[in-house]
Structure 1
């Protein structure tokens, strides 16, 4: 005959493995999304791209689930949490490594300066503190252009401007031309892409500056169709580029994990260490400004303090 106390202990032993099953399941789902985010469909509402835009923040699920596992005193849940932890570190851990002292040939600054920036001169001074060799700017208005030109001239006397994007360089610039990245239905006065050849001491480099269309988050999901179309057009132009070494700087309105940038990501290498979140300036949650390269290496990238823009500037070291 089984004693009542023994029966109770037996029931507890049966229930124990059930503890934390929901927490463990959430951990497994988080690990799956981090590792196989491309498996999330982009229709309806481009939810795949939306997930990829904020993918690093999925790691916040780990400490939340850790607290839940501790409260449940579930060994199963604690073990399951190793999966999303490993997935996050495998994907984003290299970006947290110190930049080191690797050799580089070019210091590049990328900044969407904002067309409502009330202090373009102060913005230019902030960028020059990094002693850049090239500076790429977006949302350069006709009113602010003379200010940027004068302020940047001491360090970067060579410049080229097409529409609202511009390039300043410490080295000579030639072969400047617009790059048509207009999505369907956009008029001819929309000029937000350019390329130029920069004659560095290490040889010619084709530098592209681009500002892809903005995306909007609404009731129908992420409105990124025009941005994706523009990214594909830019990728076609870079694929046809005859100069071997290419540097792309711009406000691409997408993170490098976002599948909308796949046409570019398949042709260019992304930056090395550095999370470098750049938007919004008040509380950066994503790096939508990018520095990418072909036949060159972006050694590292980091964000700079806020200027008068809603984006943070980026500075990158590039080895040719």
Structure 2
């Protein structure tokens, strides 16, 4: 080895070390800048969401009522579960609560699944080249743009068993012989709210999936077209795997909304136990029965159930994508 070569090796090593130090310093500066920019948002979030959440946790261990929250006494876990006079009492023994948990998960799983399927189909159609595509895209977003309370009230009139247009159209087509009480019938009320929710939020899923479709590389489809692969195989073997991360994002957003659903179901069916969700149950205890302690316990359980469901979903989603844990 020549003398120049032996002298060049330490120089190269020193340059690499200096470069690594600069990279580490730049990374620290970026992290520091990120925290500085995020600090106002985090403080605001702590005040707007964190403090009420902590107050809810506290009230769940008290006997607070809506008329006297200041004079609440600490009672421990009695709102959740307590054994007295040979009988278990509390939220965890209430069959109405567990019915609301079942209703919430049933509504969430069915509605989100339908929205993902229909949203993907709509996104594929909107991604195709045809005249008036921009106008159709704008029209598809109309249901999502309508406020939830307005759309729920509109559907309540349309589903009315006496003068609703849905029953009128079904009877005109000969599909039913008599008007159906969509929001009062125990067998139909849950499906009625699912239909309304799917109609309302499918455009949101379609918008996210459409954004993912437009970012896919075109050369994959050109190669599939040259090889003569059918569109169905192209979708399942090319499009669906590439758009899966977008679908996971759409599902997590919709799952969070569905698990805490309140407005659309309350407007359509009020406090009916057939469609009562965890949010409606908590509202009933807090406002209608004025039991802040018991209602706060229900709200706390709602928070932990949603958090657990989201963590499980994210864990399974990361494993599906093969992301390192």
TM-score of Structure 1 vs Structure 2, range by shorter chain = under 0.3
More strand per residue: 1 or 2?
Answer: 1
Larger RCO of the pair (alpha carbons < 8 Å, separation 6+)? 2
The normalised TM-score by structure 1 is 0.24
Is the radius of gyration larger for structure 1 or structure 2? 2
